[in-house]
Amino acid sequence: MAAASLEEGVRLFRIKRWDKALEEFLAVDTDRFESDENTELAYYLGLCYTKLERYDDALLYLEQVVTASPDPLRVYQCRMTLAFIYVTTGRSKLAEFELGRLVEGGFKSVQIYTTLAYAAWTQKQYQKAVDYYEKALEIDSGNTTALNGLGFILADSDIDVNRGIKLCKRAVEKKPQSAAYLDSLGWAYFKGRNLNEARSWLRRAFDLAPHQKEIREHIKTVVVEI
């Protein structure tokens, strides 16, 4: 019966019925479970709670998997999820710890480096963020997350505004309907004192995402300058 409930929970999870999957997982009788089955259950509980944005509950189970699972790919996924939760909830140093453990274990990916860069940026460690985005682009020179993130930081922090504009342009060329990328390009032009271009791109971003806080703040700043 326990195995059946676990299987049904997995089925529901795979079709993105997170709430129903969670009900099944919580109903599993683990009295006769082996340690690997408990780890499997913890893995799915952690992911369900993450999908439902119940982050404190998710942390409890994801940490169990990181500690107990012999599967390096599963540990990788759980550490990445932990890092996402920590960044989302403003605990960037803990995110860096999880991602650092992955790098120490030989994992190197665009996702790791872009998340590390974002975590550094939230702590105003701009050069550190730049270095991580550069590492991401060494792996995938066309990755839009890295292009946009690096471009924004270079412009916003006045490290290299002209290069920042070029990188943000590349991101927009690849994803012209991304409000975030349009906003970054508009802000980069603003930092370069090209107010006409700044206004044009920020208005496009605003049209796509009028309720996005950062876009609203950026366009207000540019309007005041104009």
Angle at 38 between CA 34 and CA 39, to 5 degrees: 115
What pLDDT is attached to residue 174? 97
Q: Which segments of the chain have a pLDDT < 50?
A: 1, 226
Domains of the chain by residue range: 1-89
Whether the CB-CB separation of 154 and 160 falls below 8 Å is answered with yes
What pLDDT is attached to residue 196? 94
Q: State the Cα–Cα distance between residues 161 and 199, nearest whole angstrom.
A: 17
pLDDT in tens, 9-39: 999 999 999 999 999 999 888 887 888 889 9
Question: Selecting from 1.10.3470, 1.10.260, 3.40.50, 1.25.40, what CATH number does the domain 1-89 have?
Answer: 1.25.40
What pLDDT is attached to residue 3? 61
Whether the CB-CB separation of 5 and 23 falls below 8 Å is answered with no
* Residue whose pair of structure tokens reads 């005041």 in the numeric block: 224
What pLDDT is attached to residue 203? 95
DSSP state of 54: -
DSSP state of 143: -
Does pTM surpass 0.75?
yes
What pLDDT is attached to residue 4? 67
Whether the CB-CB separation of 192 and 161 falls below 8 Å is answered with yes
